[in-house]
Amino acid sequence: MKLYIGSDHAGFEMKETLKTWMNTEFPSIQIEDKGCESADSCDYADYAHTVAENVVGDSRGILLCGSANGVSIAANKHAGVRAALCWTEEIATLARQHNDANILSIPARFVSLDVAKAMVTTFFNTPFEGGRHAKRVEKIDL
C-alpha cells in the first residue's frame, strides 16, 4: 500500500514523528511525504490538495493541521476522496468501517501522539464493511 502524508506548520512535528514510527510499525507501507518541510508558517490547502490528488485506488492519505478542519475541507473537494477528521480511535474505526475513508485527518493541536498512533493503526487495519454502507458511500460523489 502507498501512503501520502502531508501537513501544515501546526502538524509538521507530529507528521515527522508519525513517519518515523510508521516506517518501523508498518514496513510494507510505502510512505511519500508531500510536505510541508518545516514548522514555518504555510498554507494547509496546498498540502491537502497535493495529498488528495495522489490518493487513488488502494492508496491512502494522512493529513495534519492544527484542527484538521482546513485540510479535511480542502481534500474533500476532490472526487473520490473521503477525508475523515478523527480525534479518537473509535471515530477512526467508524470512518473506515462505515465511510471507507481514504484520508485520515488528524488535529495535531488537539490529540496526543499516542492517540494519533492509535488512529493511524486503526486506519490501516480496519476494513470497509460494505453492505448497507456501500450504497451510502456511492452517494458521496456528485
C-alpha to C-alpha distances, 90 to 6, 112, 118, 124, nearest whole angstrom: 23, 15, 10, 13
Q: Are 126 and 120 in contact (CB under 8 A)?
A: no
Q: Is the pLDDT of residue 29 over 90?
A: yes
DSSP string, 20-47: HHHHHH-TTSEEEE----SSS---HHHH
Let me know if 67 is exposed, middle or buried by CB neighbors in 10 A (0-12, 13-18, 19+).
middle
**pLDDT value of position 21:** 98
For domain 2-138, give the fold: Ribose 5-phosphate Isomerase B; Chain: A, (3.40.1400)
Secondary element (H or E) of residue 125: helix 113-125
Residue-wise pLDDT for 32-63, tens only, equals 999 999 999 999 999 999 999 999 888 999 99
Q: What pLDDT digit, counting tens, does each position of 55-67 carry?
A: 988 899 999 999 9
- Residues annotated as part of the active site: 65, 98
Burial category of 103 from C-beta neighbours within 10 Å (exposed 0-12, middle 13-18, buried 19 and up) = buried
Give the model's confidence band at 27: pLDDT under 50 very low, under 70 low, under 90 confident, else very high: very high
Contact status, residue 33 vs residue 64, Cβ threshold 8 Å: no
Does the pLDDT at position 134 exceed 80?
A: yes
Region 69-93: what's the mean pLDDT?
97
Provide, rounded to the nearest whole percent, the portion of the chain with pLDDT above 90.
Answer: 96
Is 126 in contact with 96 (CB distance < 8 Å)? yes
Joined together, the cell numbers standing for residue 74 give 480542502
Whether the per-residue pLDDT at 142 is higher than 80: the answer is no
* Amino acid 118: pLDDT: 98
